[in-house]
Structure 1
């Protein structure tokens, strides 16, 4: 797994040494000698991970890290601080600044490479979500996502898997002031609790009795519901090799015993923040997907969604030998509403009609806004007679009560016209089905509006009960659906 690593150090010899070590492992290396230079490289998205020295003139590593983590453009970039400082207070200061890890020089190659590869995997997962959830904003960030960047990582739900009572009690007491901790002493039950509990972090003791803790870590990350849940290992000093193996299987972080309380608090807070940030990315992704197939004004599905799913609905009708009907609905004299009362009033009418339309059809029916004042309803398991009844219900719901406009200060009457067609067998196609409903709608418009007309070919097909090629008999000579737009 390759990645572009930014190495930040004001000592040229250190830069060359780390660059050589990383390059030998086929990482792409970028170097910076000042904090300002590092911030610029990160802002231009030219690195995947930052290896950051602490003691630098001008702007030290702590300040660089704080700025990276406070900026929505760079918040997601993992930062590993590497320093000769070896006091717990120094490590804690780095973690509180937002660093993903704090390594003390000299750093063994195996430990450094394992950490870099682990963080690279995590960043790649986040980058995929970021790209998919990209919106029209320059940063691709919603207000909620920006809020997630500044989250303090407090009041998370933590599952602690530790079968040693004294150990679990100490860890729980340390975290009690900042997190809600639940303890599971039975490793066999931990996977089920993790899957059902919606935890922000899972902490696992590596020294579980008669149970492989790393297998539990792998199982947690193999489930869809817990794939993105951060895992923190608690290890004994002689288990360093097992910790490195844990990083390879997807563990997010680790602590060595004896545990320094403030470091435990800081590392768990970091993982809670990461989980919430990732959750917000996924939420944005879901919202973006919904926006892609939903009409923003009415909340109905849009034309793209209908075109994506109509063929599959027709295929189901063929395979199950079941009927299917289509309605094309148009609001009468809609242009007059816009011209007389303004486009805001027109939007009010569209929203209210969409609400009435949705209440008139079943959950399995596909109701879409085709565009402008035109709507389509696709109804599986529905023949021509039932489709006409539904169309009449839609028409009467529109006409039975006035539509409120101008913030409810004015009521206007609105009517709709509906064209009905039915699926005519394996030789039928979506475009023909909709065109027949469109032509029936044209007949409803020319006959005076505020009425329902069923396509004549669909009626004959329904009465005959046999499959035949679609046709458009019954439509007026020279009629074309485009000729009735706007009214």
Structure 2
């Protein structure tokens, strides 16, 4: 796994050392000697992760990090502060500025590479989600960047897995000050509880009695319902090897005992902010997918989806020797509804029509808005006789009760005309099936509307 790493340090010797370490692991290394230069490079999206020195002349690392994390265009880039400052207050200051981690010089090669790899994996996942969600801006779905920048990371749901009273009795009160905290002292039950709890963060002690905390972390990563929940591991100071292994299997962050309460809160907030941001991205992707295949007014599938899915259903019907019916529907005199009652009333009719359609068909049937006031229903494993019965039931459902429009002010009579066709030969083109249904629909309208006409071939 390669990535572009930006090293920001005003001391050339430090830059060369980090550049050599990272290049040896096949990372692409970029360098900047001051904060202004680093901000400009990040604004051009030239890097995947930043190794940032704190003590620099023009602008210190804390300020650079604050600017990066407050900018919607750069806030998602992971920042690791690398500095000689080693006090807990310095780490908290860096984390509160938005840093994803804080490494103290001299940094072990193993720790450095493990941290860069871990954050790079998360960055690549975020990049993919961001790329998929780009179209959400075009369809009116709000991008989550600004809300992510403003998010405090507080008010999360946290599950703490710890079986040492001396540990959890200290941690729970600290976390409760900012989050809703559940404690699980039985590690064997922790995975089930995590899966059912919709948590924003899992905090796992790696010093569990008679239970491997890393195995729990691995199981959480492999389970669909907990795969994307961030994990913060807590370990004893001599557990470096286990922590590095944890980063490889998907642990997002870690703390060493004795745990500083301010650092605990800062790291928890960071992980919760990331969780909320990626959740927003996934929601945008899902909304984009739904918008691409769904008619916004009626909630039915759109023509694009129908044409693609109909071909698949027809192929399945042919290969299995099963019937397939297609129903084409048109709302009678729809233009006059718009002319006489207004386009809002026309929209009311279309929405209510979609509701009645859903109530009249099966779950396996595919209902689509074909265009304007024309609709198509595809019915797998349905012959002409059954299709005719369904069509007649739907026709009666539409004609049997007036449609309420204009916020309940008016009730108008609505009828539909329906044309039916079926897949007649194995491998027949779906365009031919639709054409026959369209011809049957034309006959229904020509013969007086408000009726069902079968296959006009």
Please, what TM-score do these two structures have when normalized by structure 2?
0.92
Give 1:450 deviation, angstroms: 2.2
2:175 aligned with 1:157: no
Cα distance in 2 for residues equivalent to 1:344 and 1:6: 55
Change (3 A) 1:210 1:35: same
2:29 aligned with 1:29: yes
Cα distance in 1 for residues equivalent to 2:128 and 2:244: 25
Change (3 A) 1:180 1:395: same
- The 5 A counterparts of 1:196-345 are 196-318=196-318, 321-338=321-338, 343-345=343-345
Cα distance in 1 for residues equivalent to 2:377 and 2:364: 11
Change (3 A) 1:168 1:154: same
- The 5 A counterparts of 1:327-476 are 327-338=327-338, 343-405=343-405, 409=409, 412-456=412-456, 472=457
Q: In the alignment, what sits opposite 1:16?
A: 16
Give 1:104 deviation, angstroms: 1.6
Higher alpha-carbon deviation: 5-14 or 341-350: 341-350
Residues 198-235 of structure 1 deviation map (CA, whole Å, 9 limit, x = unaligned): 22111111222233222221121111111111111111
Give 1:339 deviation, angstroms: 5.3
Change (3 A) 1:21 1:70: same
Q: Contact 1:214/1:246 (CA < 8 Å) preserved in 2? A: yes
Give 1:410 deviation, angstroms: 5.1
Cα distance in 2 for residues equivalent to 1:370 and 1:331: 12
Q: Contact 1:149/1:277 (CA < 8 Å) preserved in 2? A: no
Query: Alignment partner of 2:301: what SS?
Result: coil
Cα distance in 1 for residues equivalent to 2:111 and 2:14: 18
Give 1:114 deviation, angstroms: 0.9
Query: Alignment partner of 2:199: what SS?
Result: coil
Cα distance in 2 for residues equivalent to 1:173 and 1:415: 65
Give 1:341 deviation, angstroms: 5.6
Q: Contact 2:324/2:378 (CA < 8 Å) preserved in 1? A: yes
Give 1:303 deviation, angstroms: 1.5
2:56 aligned with 1:89: no
Residues 132-166 of structure 1 deviation map (CA, whole Å, 9 limit, x = unaligned): 22225279972556324422222222222222221
Cα distance in 2 for residues equivalent to 1:159 and 1:235: 16
Higher alpha-carbon deviation: 82-91 or 30-39: 30-39
Change (3 A) 1:57 1:336: farther
Cα distance in 2 for residues equivalent to 1:448 and 1:89: 83
Higher alpha-carbon deviation: 375-384 or 223-232: 375-384
Higher alpha-carbon deviation: 58-67 or 95-104: 58-67
Cα distance in 1 for residues equivalent to 2:352 and 2:96: 51
Cα distance in 2 for residues equivalent to 1:348 and 1:8: 59
Q: In the alignment, what sits opposite 1:484?
A: none
Query: Alignment partner of 1:80: what SS?
Result: strand
Give 1:424 deviation, angstroms: 2.8
Give 1:445 deviation, angstroms: 1.7
Cα distance in 1 for residues equivalent to 2:59 and 2:450: 73
Cα distance in 2 for residues equivalent to 1:450 and 1:333: 10
Query: Alignment partner of 1:238: what SS?
Result: coil
Higher alpha-carbon deviation: 278-287 or 318-327: 318-327
Give 1:116 deviation, angstroms: 0.4
Change (3 A) 1:407 1:144: farther
Structure 2: tracts of 5 or more residues without a match? none
Residues 299-355 of structure 1 deviation map (CA, whole Å, 9 limit, x = unaligned): 101122222322333344456554332110112233444556655444343223223
Count, aligned residues: 457
Cα distance in 2 for residues equivalent to 1:180 and 1:214: 24
Cα distance in 1 for residues equivalent to 2:37 and 2:138: 23
Give 1:2 deviation, angstroms: 0.9
Higher alpha-carbon deviation: 31-40 or 276-285: 31-40
Higher alpha-carbon deviation: 132-141 or 31-40: 132-141
Q: In the alignment, what sits opposite 1:132?
A: 132
Cα distance in 1 for residues equivalent to 2:395 and 2:195: 48
Cα distance in 2 for residues equivalent to 1:425 and 1:143: 48
Change (3 A) 1:141 1:238: farther
Q: In the alignment, what sits opposite 1:46?
A: 46
Query: Cα RMSD over matched residues?
Result: 2.4
Q: Contact 1:133/1:140 (CA < 8 Å) preserved in 2? A: no
Please, what TM-score do these two structures have when normalized by structure 1?
0.87
Give 1:267 deviation, angstroms: 0.6
Q: Contact 1:163/1:208 (CA < 8 Å) preserved in 2? A: yes
Query: Alignment partner of 2:250: what SS?
Result: coil
